[in-house]
Amino acid sequence: MDVTKLCARKDLKLVHLQNGKVAKPKVVYMSTPKDVKSIYKSIIELKMSDGYESSIARCLNHDKGSMHSMKSHDSHVFMECLLPIAFWSFPQFVWSALAKISQFFKDL
């Protein structure tokens, strides 16, 4: 309920329904199951140079919709290179933030 008082973004404010309940609005950057499958497919089909990263496709769990057991170097590769590519379909303001985070990790 504090979001209504403290947050200036109208798209995040709670909505009062006719039955008296309060609902959170869906955010514009939420991935649908179809989007998640598309992201997984693109990561699985991705070809990297030999020795650059181990198979990130092995770290994908299709049933749970998660990534697991990534080695530290693979995590860095994902954060630095694959993060903006994987989420290119998000709205521009969300993708731009992810690209800036990715660039930050490259510069670091």
Q: What is the pLDDT of residues 29-69, one digit of tens each?
A: 777 788 777 777 777 777 777 666 667 777 777 677 677 88
Q: What is the pLDDT of residue 19?
A: 93
Asked if residue 101 has pLDDT above 80, the reply is: yes
> Percent of the chain beyond pLDDT 70?
90
SS3 per-residue string spanning 35-99: HHHHHHHHHHHCCCCCCCCCCHHHHEECCCCEECCCCHHHHHHHHHHHHHHHCCCCCHHHHHHHH
Q: What is the pLDDT of residue 69?
A: 81
DSSP 59: G
Could you report the per-residue pLDDT of 66-100, keeping only the tens digit for each? 778 888 888 888 888 888 877 777 888 888 988 89
pTM of the model: 0.59
Asked if residue 9 has pLDDT above 90, the reply is: no
Residue 80 contacts residue 102 (beta carbons within 8 Å):
yes
- The Cα–Cα gap between 59 and 65 comes to 11
Q: What is the mean pLDDT of residues 19-34?
A: 82
Q: What is the pLDDT of residue 3?
A: 66
Strands (E), 12-84: 15-16, 22-23, 60-61, 66-67
